[in-house]
Structure 1
């Protein structure tokens, strides 16, 4: 790795927030031969949508037009990155269903670009990092050489943004039932009585009731029927 790459990636690693990380990333992009660099962080698929983060050095009139015309609703780059972490190169074919967006990119000198996403599993965030330039298409070799750096940058930026979010309450741990308890709950869910279960599993009725009582305590319910319902809702049976 060239010295400048190592130095700038190290600076990016030690950045404490996206505001301080972006100028480092922009210099890195310029050294790779790109005029423009953009970061967006959204929460696709989440019930509660956070305010999307958008930072870029695109022409201001393009940003205004993009927002005014709601291009985010038809942008194939966003649609791709929300579902895949494979890089996408901007070209006419990729924008075939959004020709007005493609024409706008070309007019602004933004048509030679590519985007890389990172999906932050813990927070549900999707970070999209895009690089673009006015001259010459991006070759497969160039994409291959830069992919690792940009993927790392996208993952690091998503982590930085995730740290700014309110902490989510920890999910309650799901009770763990033994294999015998699972068998008894499954048979109980099928309407079998303790006596019938004892015959099926070659156990005493007392042993069956003992396991049922253990499950009732583990699931913090009051009787066998409630235990069956609770186990089913939790996906245990």
Structure 2
């Protein structure tokens, strides 16, 4: 079993795809006796995030129920994790000021679990990693026995999720093409030659080629086809 654990952790450390990494983590902790595994990653804090990644195998309908009832606003686990990277075990005492949420967790079979927060050092990304199960409370010995694995898994998933969130936040490329250059590229995208574009726009072929070369320079490409493709990609045409 220890050899299998080490193999899974090595795979996780090398995995670049978030979905596959999550599956590795889920399988790992299933073998450790946890039915449920969740990652919620945010750009910004959970109460004012700009984008979010949510991955879990919680019972069907739980995510929708949680969102519809606005549980995030009074979830004591989130309140704790906003300010601390220390793990928090779920318990009736922890949820004493959110009895309805605690009741729903129990009803869904999610009463026994814990959450580990990961805070990005630059403050741009924030993740919550949770493990839960339907049967028997999590004793301190078991918790600490799995804590190292959970910290490693949460940090790896956080890194992959942070990269994905950053990619989504990257502003689209912009390029300041003149109206005439855009016209030339639009007709070129229709398959028109330089001479045909010139006749349509009442320009000389030489002038059309001048505009094409200007577009290529501004778009940092080496030919007209690439200029058209890139202009379309950044929604200039």
What's the TM-score once normalised by structure 2's chain length? 0.66
For 1:139-150, what aligned pairs fall within 5 Å after superposition? 139-150=139-150
Query: Could you report, residue by residue, the CA deviation over 1:195-223 in whole angstroms, capped at 9, with x for unpaired residues?
Result: xxxxxxxxxxxxxxxxxxxxxxxxxxxxx
Q: CA deviation at 1:54?
A: 0.8
Check whether the contact 2:41–2:162 (CA below 8 A) recurs between aligned residues: no
Deviation >2 Å, runs of 4+: 43-50, 166-169
Q: CA deviation at 1:43?
A: 3.3
Instruction: Supply the RMSD in Å over aligned alpha carbons.
Output: 2.2
Separation in 2, partners of 1:157, 1:147: 15
Query: CA, structure 1 residues 63+49, in 2 after alignment: closer, same or farther (shift >3 Å)?
Result: closer
Separation in 1, partners of 2:120, 2:31: 27
Query: Are 1:26 and 2:26 matched, yes or no?
Result: yes
Check whether the contact 1:46–1:124 (CA below 8 A) recurs between aligned residues: no
**1:187 corresponds to which residue?**
none
Query: Are 1:71 and 2:66 matched, yes or no?
Result: no
Separation in 2, partners of 1:97, 1:4: 41
Query: CA, structure 1 residues 123+99, in 2 after alignment: closer, same or farther (shift >3 Å)?
Result: same
**1:82 corresponds to which residue?**
82
Query: Are 1:62 and 2:70 matched, yes or no?
Result: no
Q: CA deviation at 1:157?
A: 1.3
Separation in 1, partners of 2:71, 2:105: 11
Check whether the contact 1:36–1:131 (CA below 8 A) recurs between aligned residues: yes
Query: Are 1:118 and 2:152 matched, yes or no?
Result: no
Check whether the contact 1:36–1:133 (CA below 8 A) recurs between aligned residues: yes
Query: Could you report, residue by residue, the CA deviation over 1:25-48 in whole angstroms, capped at 9, with x for unpaired residues?
Result: 110110110111100112345998
SS at match of 1:132: strand
**1:158 corresponds to which residue?**
158
Unaligned runs of 5+ in 2: 172-237
Check whether the contact 1:119–1:125 (CA below 8 A) recurs between aligned residues: yes
Count residues with an aligned counterpart. 169
**2:133 corresponds to which residue?**
133
Q: CA deviation at 1:118?
A: 1.1
